[in-house]
Amino acid sequence: MRKKIIAGNWKMNNDFEQGLKLASEVNNMVKDEINADVQVVICAPYIHLASVGKLLSGKVALGAQNCYTKKSGAYTGEVSVEMLKSVGVSYVIIGHSERREYFNETNQFLAEKVNIILENGLTPIFCCGETLKQREEGIHIDFVNSQLTDSLFHLSPEQFTKVVIAYEPIWAIGTGVTASTAQAQEMHEKIRNHIASKYGASLANEITIQYGGSCNASNAPELFACADIDGGLIGGASLEARKFVDVIKAMK
């Protein structure tokens, strides 16, 4: 059975004290209010990770928003997977559209990140998605499939089962625009079918595929009810504990 995962991506928000307060509130609310079999993840900025990790328990795991491809060395400003693991990180977001756009991260570079995350026993949350222009041109499915192929299809079947996919239509991130339920389900199904073309239907049906893109408590119930949507990568709605937990509650 596929794991249901709701991950909050704080991005570059919350100073240290704000981050501790938010993490504590979410952890307590999840403990008190969430009975469903859902894995919750808080993906905080680097400065928060060690302290936030000590506040989390039960169904709330610690996630990082990025990592580097090397184990150690003269890479000023970068953070290795080993460092993340040492403070209790379990999940690592890679390939977010903002990093692809602002930091020119390529599919090949992300393949290296996938490798080192898996080597250290952590779970990569691999983001993929298309621009509005690509969707309007009708190449969005091929584009997303190429992201998966170039960054993930070198993995063995066993390795691939340890990857979480996050589909994020770039045109819906932080815009207030959400893909329709039909659009989201269609792309999630296409992603699963593409995985099946390489690894078989049985394995593809085990993979968690999250939706990311202006997901909130209002639209989450309809999105999460779709056959191929197994959770969410939540941005803005994860910055307030009540809003985030209400999104989590939508996952049955």
Instruction: Say if CB 232 and CB 226 are below 8 A apart.
Output: no
Kindly report each contact of residues 78-82 with a partner whose C-beta sits within 8 Å and lies 24 or more positions away, as own/partner: 79/46, 81/116, 81/117, 81/119, 81/120, 81/122, 82/120
CB burial readout 86-100, b (16+ within 10 A) else e: ebebbbbbbbbbbbb
The tens digit of pLDDT for each residue in 3-62 reads 999 999 999 999 999 999 999 999 999 999 998 899 999 999 999 999 999 999 889 999
pLDDT band of residue 229 (cuts 50, 70, 90) is: very high
Would you say the pTM of this structure is higher than 0.85? yes
Per residue in 69-128, pLDDT (tens digit) is 999 999 999 999 999 999 999 999 999 999 999 999 999 999 999 999 999 999 999 999
**Could you tell me the CATH number of the domain that includes residue 93?**
3.20.20.70
What's the CA gap between 228 and 178, in Å, rounded?
A: 17
Number of domains in the chain: 1
Could you report the per-residue pLDDT of 184-221, keeping only the tens digit for each? Answer: 999 999 999 999 999 999 999 999 999 998 899 999 99
Give residue 252's pLDDT: 84
Active site residue 168: yes
- Catalytic pick from 98, 105, 168, 194? 168
Structural domain boundaries, residue 70: 5-249
Q: Is the pLDDT of residue 132 over 90?
A: no
Q: Which residue has the tokens 């639209």?
A: 219
Please, what sign has the CA dihedral across residues 108, 112, 117, 119?
Answer: positive
- Catalytic residue from among 48, 96, 188, 194: 96
124, β-bridge pairs: 92
**pLDDT above 80 (res 176):** no
Chain segment 32-42, per-residue pLDDT in tens: 999 889 999 99
pLDDT of res. 123: 98
Catalytic, 101? Answer no
